[in-house]
């Protein structure tokens, strides 16, 4: 039976990926040297396509790593001597915070309950903080931070570096990159690609910070993952290590596809389909209760509902009919459903899923 994955990562592959894999094999992408001109042009066109899709300023650096989780570690390692500050409301924001603890930093946090947004009046960041960390879309519970809130934080603390985890909101999230210093994502969620690649976008200030810490003898890791060294390699479109060349190739191809479709169109479709599913939840609210109450903070890319009587029956019955929906995360495993609404999910498949959820209610 044909299955469609609505799991929030890994998720449904973008429809063109199968072809790109075949093409990549035909072009021997799995065998080319990462010192070759072909690799350089592949990395360079990936950067160009990403800049084009998101309006990333020319002077920002684009690095590849292995995953979103690795990106968290590299960012703390390179940009924080002692203290980071974390917006904290679920498992993935906790992971960013915990990464800082694991690396023997002294992070601070502003914690709110699962499913809740933040209040600007409660943000209090002391001047010994070096980096502010936010999880744009908390995948475990479906809370998405409004872009305006991010800019308000930046306006209040213009001198501090700001890092945003956009793993499960990319490519939907519309950021003004001039107002942030670091953003990172992996490819197995919104880009609809097989896992195994992470991307970090950095402002010149973020690189300067890494260079400053290095010059003072701080531990910023082995050279292949120091932002200063990575920048030197990236300047000639190379990496020190042998990277996941095939995944970079595929990301470049999907970026081209998304540029062809147009990001605004993708965002509009995402909004429309999110509203449609939230509406289904509302129509059947005896069964599905949207977990995030405040519409301002409801995710458009990971839609989460608490299912009365438990989510396992719904998940299983949907699965039997080819609709692979996500279970709740962690403590919500048996009570929530999570539905990914990524570019790979067409409007028609979201309609079919909506009908399925209705009949199962
Ligand atoms: C999935 C996820 C991560 C972890 O990314 P990996 O590529 O699995 O390491 C981090 N943050 C958020 C918000 C996520 O959804």
Are residues 336 and 304 in contact, defined by beta-carbon separation less than 8 angstroms? yes
The pLDDT value recorded for residue 155 is: 97
The pLDDT value recorded for residue 159 is: 95
* Ligand 1, pocket residues at CB < 6 Å: 9, 67-69, 92, 135, 137, 139, 165, 167-168, 186, 198
For 152, residues 6+ apart whose C-beta sits below 8 A from its C-beta are 120
What global pTM score does this model have?
0.98
147-191 confidence digits (pLDDT tens): 999 999 999 999 999 999 999 999 999 999 999 999 999 999 999
For 115, residues 6+ apart whose C-beta sits below 8 A from its C-beta are 89, 141, 142, 143, 291, 292, 293
Atom of ligand 1 nearest to the CA of 138: 13
The pLDDT value recorded for residue 361 is: 95
Residue with tokens 């809740």: 116
The pLDDT value recorded for residue 1 is: 85
217-264 confidence digits (pLDDT tens): 998 889 999 999 999 999 999 999 999 999 999 999 999 999 999 999
The pLDDT value recorded for residue 260 is: 98
Residues of the chain with pLDDT under 50: none
What is residue 192's three-state secondary structure? coil
Which among 9, 76, 169 is the best mutation to test ligand 1's pocket, defined by most ligand atoms within 8 Å of the CB?
Answer: 9
Length of the chain: 361
Residue with tokens 């690095």: 63
Query: What's the chain's average pLDDT?
Result: 97
The pLDDT value recorded for residue 219 is: 80
Ligand 1: centre distance to CA 19 (Å): 26
| β-pair partners for 182 | 163, 202
């Amino acid at each position: 039976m044909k299955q469609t994955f609505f799991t929030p990562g890994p998720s449904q592959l973008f429809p063109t990926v199968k072809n790109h894999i075949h093409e990549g094999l035909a072009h021997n992408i799995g065998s080319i040297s990462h010192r070759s001109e072909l690799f350089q042009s592949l990395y360079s066109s990936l950067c160009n396509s990403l800049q084009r899709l998101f309006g990333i300023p020319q002077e920002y650096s684009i690095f590849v790593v292995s995953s979103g989780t690795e990106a968290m570690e590299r960012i703390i390692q390179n940009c924080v001597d002692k203290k980071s500050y974390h917006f904290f409301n679920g498992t993935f924001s906790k992971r960013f915070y915990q990464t800082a603890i694991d690396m023997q930093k002294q992070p601070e946090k502003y914690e709110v309950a699962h499913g809740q947004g933040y209040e600007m009046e409660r943000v209090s960041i002391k001047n010994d903080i070096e980096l502010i960390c936010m999880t744009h879309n908390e995948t475990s519970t479906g809370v998405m931070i409004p872009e305006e809130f991010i800019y308000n934080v930046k306006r209040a603390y213009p001198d501090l570096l700001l890092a945003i985890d956009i793993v499960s909101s990319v490519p939907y999230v519309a950021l003004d990159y001039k107002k942030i210093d670091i953003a990172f994502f992996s490819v197995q969620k919104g880009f609809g690609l097989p896992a195994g690649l992470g991307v970090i976008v950095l402002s010149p200030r973020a690189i300067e910070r890494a260079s400053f810490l290095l010059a003072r003898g701080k531990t910023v890791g082995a050279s292949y993952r120091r932002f200063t060294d990575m920048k030197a390699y990236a300047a000639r479109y190379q990496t020190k290590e042998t990277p996941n060349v095939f995944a970079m190739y595929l990301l470049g191809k999907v970026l081209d596809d998304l540029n062809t479709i147009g990001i605004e169109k993708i965002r509009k479709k995402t909004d429309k389909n999110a509203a449609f599913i939230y509406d289904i939840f509302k129509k059947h609210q005896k069964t599905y209760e949207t977990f995030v109450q405040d519409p301002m903070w409801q995710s458009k890319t990971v839609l989460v509902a608490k299912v009365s009587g438990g989510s396992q029956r719904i998940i299983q019955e949907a699965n039997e009919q080819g609709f692979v929906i996500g279970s709740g995360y962690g403590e919500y495993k048996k009570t929530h459903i999570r539905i990914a609404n990524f570019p790979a999910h067409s409007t028609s498949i979201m309609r079919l899923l909506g009908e399925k959820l209705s009949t199962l209610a």
